[in-house]
Amino acid sequence: MVIDFELSPHLREARAFYRRYAAEKMRPLSRMLDENEHLRPWEFLRDAWETSRSGAAPAPPPDERNLFTLLVIEEMSWGDAGLYLLRPGAGLGTAAIMATGTKEQKARFLARFREGDPKWAAMAITEPGCGSDTSALQTTARRDGDEWVLNGAKIFCTNGSLALAESDGLAVVWATVDRSRGRAGIKAFVVEARTPGVSVAKLEQKLGIRVSDTAELVFEECRIPADNLLGTAEVKAAATKESFRGAMATFDATRPIVAAQSVGVASAALELLKEHIVEAGQPLRYGRSAQRLTAIERDVMELEGDIEATRLLAWRAAWMMDQGQRNSLEASIAKAKAGQVVTRVTQKVVEHLGPVGYSRGSLAEKWMRDAKINDIFEGTQQINLLIVARRILGYGSDELN
């Protein structure tokens, strides 16, 4: 069997386009936006919105859509991971709607992202008392006639403020319709912008990806139409797996995206280190045995291998989605590997650059701060390793936790 790792001409063209875009439109803003958290770069955001809709960038064929997405995200994260997360578009909300919504709901909610002014979609799942254990969430939804009424709070919602307060966007909110039923009671609801009863409590101040909009949302008697519930309202034994599986299917789609973001940040950092090494008159000597290399040469080559391994794991998970295959194991493997690799790469780069890497005169220290979130969101390192172990060993959550 021959395995081909070459990208199609179309994907190579798209990759080159977004590398140019990242270099020209994103990288020059990195330091300024890092030092002015919550500043909205509206000129960039409007340009990003128009670029995504204008056809200037190559559009993917159906069987390459997820792989195309990963390539775009890798290049944009190479430019600036926080700015990539801040871009207008359907975002995380799309993954949740695609995973759990009906055909009519997908058409209705996603149509708005093809027209008008810039807008965002957020996903609201994490709560103050419920992080990785999504089955323990406390936000409630009760039926009242032709409406659902939401009450609760969500934290660390990427683009939560932009989606609900500053655009004609939406947020997919995970809530329980029956706490006594545990996972069976968890449902996803679409809350549209400026719906009465939803407010932005605060914007988080963060270690990295500081320009990213990360909000706390509060729902107080927030009323939404009954048909804004994604999927079925049934709470039955047969629906238990389907209900919670919808939330997990969202992560199957987004975890490879986090891996791609990690690759972009790690690649940016390692490229900077290699430039400094060459400028210092010490070319990297590939093809020599390990014992004849310097310590820094060995580090660089090992880090290059780690980045490439992460990239291929992410591509595999995306390719499986493009083929209509279930990728839960592969998505978690890619995400777990990526968090470790980007953290190690950026720390090593700062270490080898010394005072230059530690100084704000270089972006290396920023990339080290940006890297850490990849080991946390979309399921922490520990959670993803636990998922991998369960999948490989064939254990359920009640047998291995």
- Express each pLDDT in 355-382 by its tens digit: 999 999 999 999 999 999 999 998 888 9
Residue 24 lies in a domain: yes
**Which pLDDT score, from 0 to 100, does residue 124 have?**
95
Pair 371, 266: CB distance under 8 Å: yes
Residue 94 lies in a domain: no
Q: Judge if 229 and 304 occupy the same domain.
A: no
Residue 47 lies in a domain: yes
Does residue 1 have a pLDDT over 50?
Answer: no
CATH number, domain of 1, equals: 1.20.140.10
Residue 193 lies in a domain: yes
Q: Judge if 364 and 276 occupy the same domain.
A: yes
pLDDT in tens, 216-229: 999 999 999 999 99
Q: Judge if 261 and 279 occupy the same domain.
A: yes
User: Total domain count for the chain?
Assistant: 2
Q: Judge if 207 and 121 occupy the same domain.
A: yes
| 183-222 b/e (C-beta count within 10 Å ≥ 16 → b) | bbbbbbbbbbbebeebebeeebebebbbbbbbbbbbbeeb
Q: Judge if 189 and 243 occupy the same domain.
A: no
Average pLDDT over residues 269-282: 95
Domain boundary among 182, 211, 235: 235
Least confident of 176-185, 186-195, 297-306: 176-185
Residue 400 lies in a domain: no
- Cα gap 195→124, rounded to integer Å: 15
DSSP state at residue 58: P
Residue 41 lies in a domain: yes
pLDDT in tens, 78-132: 999 999 999 999 888 888 898 889 999 999 999 999 889 999 999 999 999 876 6
Residue 289 lies in a domain: yes
Does residue 247 have a pLDDT over 90?
Answer: no
Q: Judge if 243 and 204 occupy the same domain.
A: no
pLDDT in tens, 12-34: 999 999 999 999 999 999 999 99
Q: Judge if 201 and 143 occupy the same domain.
A: yes
- Cα gap 391→329, rounded to integer Å: 6
Domain boundary among 214, 235, 256: 235
Q: Judge if 111 and 203 occupy the same domain.
A: yes
Pairing relationship of beta strands 170-176 and 121-124 according to DSSP bridges: parallel
Band of the pLDDT at 246, cuts 50, 70, 90? low
Domain boundary among 235, 250, 277: 235
**Which pLDDT score, from 0 to 100, does residue 300 have?**
97
Q: What is the mean pLDDT of the chain?
A: 91
Is 221 designated active site?
no
The percentage of the chain sitting over the pLDDT mark of 70, rounded to a whole number, equals 94
Q: Judge if 171 and 307 occupy the same domain.
A: no
- Cα gap 19→186, rounded to integer Å: 40
Pair 194, 217: CB distance under 8 Å: no
pTM to 2 decimals? Answer: 0.93
SS3 61: coil
| H or E segment and range at residue 108 | helix 103-110
**Which pLDDT score, from 0 to 100, does residue 231 have?**
83
Q: Judge if 118 and 151 occupy the same domain.
A: yes
Does residue 5 have a pLDDT over 80?
Answer: no
- Cα gap 379→337, rounded to integer Å: 13
Active-site residue, selected from the candidate residues 64, 127, 365, 378: 378
Average pLDDT over residues 41-64: 89
234/202: higher pLDDT: 202
Pair 173, 189: CB distance under 8 Å: yes
Q: Judge if 381 and 276 occupy the same domain.
A: yes
**Which pLDDT score, from 0 to 100, does residue 183 have?**
80
Domain span at residue 334 reads 1-87+236-395
Within 129-220, where are the H helices? 160-164
Q: Judge if 139 and 181 occupy the same domain.
A: yes
Average pLDDT over residues 332-348: 97
Does residue 4 have a pLDDT over 70?
Answer: no
Residue 112 lies in a domain: yes
- Residues whose CB falls within 8 Å of the CB of residue 31, separated by 6 or more in sequence, listed in order: 360, 363, 366
241/348: higher pLDDT: 348
